[in-house]
Chains A and B, each alone.
Chain A
Amino acid sequence: MPRQKLSEFRAKTIIYGALGLPYRGWSIDTSADLKLQLKAVHERTSHVVVKVDEGVKRRFKQGLVLLDVAPADVEEAVHKLQSRGYRWLIVEPMWEYAKTEERYFSLALERGGWLCRYSQSGGVDIESAASQVKSMLLRPGEDPKEVASATGFSQAQIVALEAVCADNAFAFLELNPYIVAANSVQLLDAAVEVDDTAAFFVDDWQFDDLRFHVGHQLTPQEKLIQELDATSPASLKLNVLNPEGSIFLLLSGGGASVVVADEIYNQGYGPQLANYGEYSGNPNSEETYLYTKAVLELLINSPAKQKVLFIGGAVANFTDIAKTFAGVLRAIDEVAGKLKTQQVKVFVRRGGPHQEEGLRAMETMLEKHELLGAVHSPDTPLTEAVDEALKEIAHG
């Protein structure tokens, strides 16, 4: 989905290029041969920094930045971060400077131009020094004189940064900290979010340069849906919240899916919510089959005693209910025996083109396998159907 984090290595390569400055850094893929990748680092004599490059926030505080590493110890440092489950690392020269030299700079895409935020005191504690951060909207074609004098960049460099952001579909660029020396600038940490819908129009980064950090290791099911989503014109999302949860969701529609999840959360069932996700944009029945299969695998694997599956959505405008349900039905049918043994109940509420056909087929199938909780048309309000499913949990 649109805003994705760009690897720091790729971001810096692009930004240093725009500033007209050389960049020295190495991107390390710990899943590939390390010897070859670290050869150039080993040949150095001065110390380096080894950092995780996966778009993780607050890296320093989480111990994911290893400072002042001697070239001989780089391999050990790499293994240390790798053992914490990270694949992508970045190695850069170690710079000596005083903490007071750390500055902050960011550009964010806004209506009307780039919102520039900057401060003379940057660094890892920027959030507590927020009051010192100034901001100014840079409109296209305006001279960034004031920003240039306050940030240590030249006017031409500010203009070049705006241009490089536009050309590379950056939605957000943050340099924190960076230091300004006599004739040069060093970007110690850089974070960039790109608008990946513009990938087609951009040359300097590719899909491989994007970093998807979700705060936990992706389950095989989440990985599968991510890949499915990347290759389909429809939208398919899956997030696992609690693998041991009891409420499983199979939702349609970007808005309605959030409303359903909200309802569960607002009723105090948040901890039991196993997953959030949605499919929309009229996926074909093969896609809904694979999607349902993934959700059902999660459901069957959960040790929770009383489990429900809620299949639902709003009244679709153009997503064909009979067609999308055909895939859902096939997937349920395949594991119906297991679901019955686990006493799973399925609740359905959906409307849209060919809803009668889809809902009727669903009801018949669920009844046959003794999985039927309830099947509702849009005559039943969306959240009422959710509440009905929740009662099953409360009573269980």
Chain B
Amino acid sequence: MDNLRDLEPHIICLGSHPGIIQSMLDYHYCLGQEKSPVEAIVGTNRKQERYFWGHHEIVIPVYRDLTAVPVHLRSKANVMLLVQSARRVLSGMQAASDALPNLALVNIFAEQVPEAHALLIGSLAREHKVLVAGPASVGLLLPGSLKLGAIGGTEYPQLVSAGIFAPGNTAVVSTSGGMVNELIHVVTRSGSGISFALALGGDRYPITDPAEAMLLAQADKQTERIVYFGELGGEDEYRIAELLKDGSVSKPVIAYIAGSVAELFPEPPQFGHAKAMASSQSETAAAKKAVLREAGAQVVDVFKDIGSLLGDNTSSVESQSHRPIQARRRRLIMSRLSGETNGEVQLLGKDLLATVNESSIASLYLSLLLGMTVDQPKIVAFTDYILRLLVDHGPYVSGAVNTAIAARAGKDLPSSLAAGLLTIGPRFGGAVNAAAAAWLSGVDNGTSAKSFVSSFTAQGGIIPGIGHKKYRIDVPDPRVTAIVDNFAGNTNNDRYLHFGRQVETVTTAKKGNLILNVDGAIAAVMLDLLESELGYTPEQLQELVDIEFFNALFIASRSVGLMAHYLDQRRHDEGLFRLSEEDVSYIP
């Protein structure tokens, strides 16, 4: 326990249980620690989860699985809260022992973990020297240092009333989660403090069994005496008796073994905990009490006698002062971009005017769209270039036509703009985002350009970012040439652009106009710049594709063009647009 007490905890949660996680954060906040010990949550379908650190909200990142957790976090992680369902506990522990080299402590919360799985986890834990509380455990509490799990309560008032902010001399070891908390109260009310409290869990094969817990208490410098809660079923207490007899455990043990009431039942009853069933005489509460008593433990028959045996130590009580938590309220909306503090508007973490004064329009657009301040000149220059490049493509294209028709129908500016914007999708304007998705998947999967192309043609699809009506391989699109000349040559060896070019080589061998078009070039170069200049990982780039960042660039620019077409039409004031009979091929 001493080593765990000295540990600076870096906690990974496998699965999420907001009540328990928040209570762990609250406890550590109350201790006056500077930052949240919970580093990451793994295996839920969210990207992040919001919690309070004291009175402020923080976000904890969520990862798909343990391998997706960044390496620096994985090597730092030394404590794990495992709150996934019983079926997933074994695989979760196996994944953790592979992914987390410095893991020292785990709490397994789920009930109903198969016994055979618990035995396998036991071998795994011994091999990797990990202390495991559970399965079916509310965790481990080291007052003043660490709260792992629900132990001690999940609400701030519970933490305060339990008296667990400063350490004391009494260890509590219990097979029951409710009773570990009850005993914490019994001990702290007697005026003693808790050295540690460990919920072993009520399963038949707890990973850390009662005898091992006794040895931990014996070895712990802070612990002077042990309060043990056990129950009928299993024969773990016989090993405790051996340890007491041979002197391996010499600190005083006060024990309560629940389950005498089983004698009332015609057949051995199964109580609430999995282990709590005595199928032979040796597993009854009476037999185990007798053997512990004989070995020198102070065994009480009546629960309240634990209090009397602990005595009144209120004079030696340690201060339980802590950093308090007042009422707080969850915010409805979260924003990284802008907000008000004391009525002053801030943009990207700085005063609005300061940000505006320092930024070009391109850097401001890019910063807002990426959700962080970006001032690297090359990517800002590229953004500036594409904002200009995409602003208009003539009155012929679908978006502009729709805006013009709406304008001529007498609709207002926002409606006409919306009519044009609503046209943007898979066939019009959406090509940059689609091309980014294509290059990203091609490069990530290590696909050859040839099989990449054939997988598209097999589905009868066209490849986004490829093909032009007018330009051909021998008559290149001057816009593509300009983009490549000015913005290629990035530190990632232009791997996305390179892939786009390889695809172009395959497609133009078939047909000369299947060239890398301007959408495909913008997507590829933007991916290269995000990776080289801003250090985006493929996962982060994928997220940008998923949330349509590349479409946002197009829309930011083209909105100006569409508004221009609206204003142009209004100036002409031509009246309602209508197709004539000659324009429609009627096929009855």
Contacts and interface: CB of A to CB of B under 8 A. Distances in A.
Interface of A: 1-3, 57, 109, 111, 166, 169, 171, 195, 197-198, 200-201, 213-216, 235, 237, 239, 241, 252-259, 261-266, 270, 273, 276, 278, 280-281, 313-318, 351-354, 356, 378, 381-384
B462 interface: no
Contact of B263 (A235, A265, A280, A382): A265
A2 B274 contact: yes
A352 B265 contact: no
Interface stretch (B181-189, B335-343, B368-376, B514-522): B181-189
B276 A317 contact: no
A253 B115 contact: no
A315 B86 contact: no
A352 B153 contact: yes
Interface string B105-126: 0000001111111010010000
B261 A262 contact: yes
Interface in B151-182: 151-155, 157-158, 161-162, 174-179, 181-182
A258 B202 CA distance: 12
Given A169-B116, A253-B178, A256-B176, A383 B264 contact: no
B181 A314 contact: yes
Nearest to B257: A262
A381 B186 contact: yes
Contact of A353 (B111, B158, B229, B303): B158
Interface in B261-312: 261, 263-267, 269-274, 276-277, 285, 301-304, 307
Contacts of A317: 138, 149-154, 177-178, 181
Nearest to A281: B111
Contacts of B264: 241, 265, 270, 273
A384 B182 CA distance: 13
Given A214-B267, A255-B174, A258-B261, A318 B113 contact: no
B504 to A, nearest CB: 51
A259 B158 CA distance: 22
A14 to B, nearest CB: 16
A382 B17 CA distance: 28
A235 B112 CA distance: 10
Given A255-B258, A264-B261, A111 B182 contact: no
Given A201-B114, A266-B260, 17 more contacts: A109-B115, A109-B116, A213-B267, A215-B265, A215-B266, A235-B272, A254-B176, A254-B273, A255-B174, A278-B271, A281-B111, A317-B177, A317-B178, A318-B17, A352-B153, A354-B155, A378-B161
B182 A258 contact: no
B179 A197 contact: no
27 contacts: A2-B115, A2-B274, A195-B114, A195-B116, A197-B115, A198-B115, A201-B87, A235-B111, A241-B264, A252-B178, A253-B272, A254-B176, A254-B273, A258-B261, A262-B259, A262-B261, A266-B302, A270-B263, A315-B181, A317-B149, A317-B150, A317-B152, A318-B17, A353-B158, A354-B155, A381-B304, A382-B303
B115 A195 contact: yes
B303 A253 contact: no
B178 A383 contact: no
A102 B389 CA distance: 93
A231 to B, nearest CB: 13
A38 B267 CA distance: 32
A2 B157 CA distance: 35
Contacts of A235: 111, 272
B225 interface: no
Contacts of B550: none
A255 B177 contact: yes
A200 B181 contact: no
Contacts, number: 186
Given A254-B271, A262-B258, A280 B178 contact: yes
B19 interface: yes
A111 B119 contact: yes
A382 B285 CA distance: 20
A275 B258 CA distance: 17
Contact of B260 (A171, A239, A257, A262): A262
Given A198-B117, A255-B175, A317-B153, A381 B272 contact: no
Contacts of B184: 315
A318 B122 CA distance: 26
Given A109-B116, A318-B150, A352-B158, A216 B174 contact: no
Contacts of B307: 381
B554 interface: no
9 shortest interchain CB distances as A-B pairs: A255-B176, A254-B272, A253-B178, A198-B114, A314-B178, A314-B182, A255-B179, A317-B150, A215-B267
Given A261-B261, A382-B182, A216 B266 contact: yes
Nearest to B122: A111
B566 interface: no
Contacts of A239: 265, 269
Interface residues of B, number: 68
Nearest to B264: A270
Given A281-B111, A313-B178, A316-B178, A378 B185 contact: yes
Contacts of B529: none
B231 interface: yes
A318 B19 contact: yes
Nearest to A1: B270
B163 to A, nearest CB: 12
Contacts of A316: 178, 181
A265 B267 contact: no
Q: Which of B138, B150, B152 has the most CB of A within 10 A?
A: B150
B304 A254 contact: no
Contact of B272 (A3, A109, A257): A257
Interface in B458-514: none
A157 to B, nearest CB: 21
Given A262-B260, A263-B303, A353 B231 contact: no
B408 interface: no
Contacts of B205: 111
Contacts of B431: none
A276 B232 CA distance: 15
B565 interface: no
Nearest to A199: B114
B20 interface: yes
Contact of B261 (A111, A265, A280): A265
Contacts of A258: 231-232, 258-259, 261, 271-272, 276
Contacts of A270: 261, 263-264
B86 A278 contact: no
Given A253-B272, A278-B272, A318-B20, A241 B86 contact: no
Given A256-B178, A280-B178, A171 B302 contact: no
Contacts of A200: 87
Contacts of A3: 204, 270, 274, 277
Contacts of A353: 19, 153-155, 158
Contacts of A356: 157
Contact of A2 (B112, B229, B261): B112
B410 to A, nearest CB: 56
A378 B155 CA distance: 15
A239 B262 CA distance: 11
A101 B302 CA distance: 50
Contact of B302 (A197, A263, A280): A263
Contacts of B151: 317
A378 B189 CA distance: 11
A137 to B, nearest CB: 13
Contacts of A314: 176, 178-179, 181-182
Contact of A384 (B152, B259, B273, B304): B304
A48 B57 CA distance: 73
Nearest to B258: A258
A2 B259 CA distance: 18
Contacts of B256: 259
